[in-house]
Amino acid sequence: GILLPLPSYSPTSSSVRSPLAQHLTHLDLSSNLIELLPDALFDLPSLSHLNLSYNKLTTLAPQTNTESQKYGWRYGLVSLESLDLSGNKTHDLGQLPVSLHGCESLRTLNLCNNNLERIPYELGMLEQLTHLGLSGNPQRYIRTSLVQGSCANLLKFLRNRMDSKNLQWAKEQHEQVALALNKQKNGTLKDENSQINRKSPKRHTVQASEKDEVTTDETPHTHGHTTSKSTSQIVNSSPLKEELLTNIADLEEKLGSFNLSQAKRFALKKDLAMERSKLIREERRLKSL
């Protein structure tokens, strides 16, 4: 495939960065048939706007070639404000959802018109975002009204799908990213990227299926390898739990309307309390399995 024509700078050697790499703020690489992202791309500390739309980035998962060159999305780009990955037929976001947590200035993330059948829950933890574009993907689990609605509601929907174990895992990954960025800044980084995503018990995603089910047994891809499924990774979810979560999201969205009568709002709050009660009972049942 066609690679980005970037020099192979080491992230530990900031003193030898060229002035261009050090001060570049806008980079438009759209429509260039790019298939892989080289590691050097993430050593652009001032980059605020990156356009990678309409290339051939079918996967952003970590990869290593026969010459030990690394590709795929990783932590870095700490000044990023806008990232456009639309129109790439991407089916795997790799480490992007957790890595972007280190981009505190990020406001716009465009993932429209890709091949995402599974939307990672971790995207919901990118609370710095003001726009998250997911339209034009084959996923069917998130309603069109949510995808096209406010970013805050969409992020909340994704966060609410995370159970306590996966929420804790995501927070640990964010700590790893912060640690790696700090070491990179201080010039003491060795190879922290392999630690990110390593400890995940499972990767929760919103998945498209004919029955609108959600799978919870997929582990992150690392260098092209996958971990086999196990029974313990499946019992955290059930069709009933996902139905209840969807109902709760629907009711919360309706309660956000400003045009509700007092009686209607009271009825919605009552229904919401009942659904949450059912969800608690179902989660207890699943934990007992």
pLDDT digits (tens, 9 = 90+) for 152-190: 999 999 998 888 888 888 888 888 888 888 877 776 544
- Cβ-Cβ contacts under 8 Å for 203 (sequence gap 6 or more): 120, 218, 219, 220
Are 188 and 101 contacting, i.e. CB atoms less than 8 angstroms apart?
no
Q: Which of 5-19, 139-153, 216-230 has the highest mean pLDDT?
A: 139-153
Q: How far apart are CA 220 and CA 89, in angstroms?
A: 19
State the pLDDT at residue 187: 62
Q: How far apart are CA 250 and CA 146, in angstroms?
A: 9
pTM of the model: 0.66
Higher pLDDT, 233 or 89: 89
> For residue 257, is pLDDT > 90?
no
Q: What is the mean pLDDT of residues 211-217?
A: 34
> For residue 121, is pLDDT > 60?
yes
Are 249 and 275 contacting, i.e. CB atoms less than 8 angstroms apart?
no
Q: What is the mean pLDDT of residues 32-60?
A: 94
Percent of the chain residues topping a pLDDT of 90: 39
> For residue 202, is pLDDT > 60?
no
State the pLDDT at residue 256: 67
State the pLDDT at residue 220: 38
- Cβ-Cβ contacts under 8 Å for 104 (sequence gap 6 or more): 78, 128
Question: What is the DSSP-derived secondary structure letter of residue 61?
Answer: S
> For residue 201, is pLDDT > 70?
no
**How many of the other CB atoms lie within 10 Å of CB of 159?**
17
Are 238 and 196 contacting, i.e. CB atoms less than 8 angstroms apart?
no
State the pLDDT at residue 276: 86
State the pLDDT at residue 190: 47
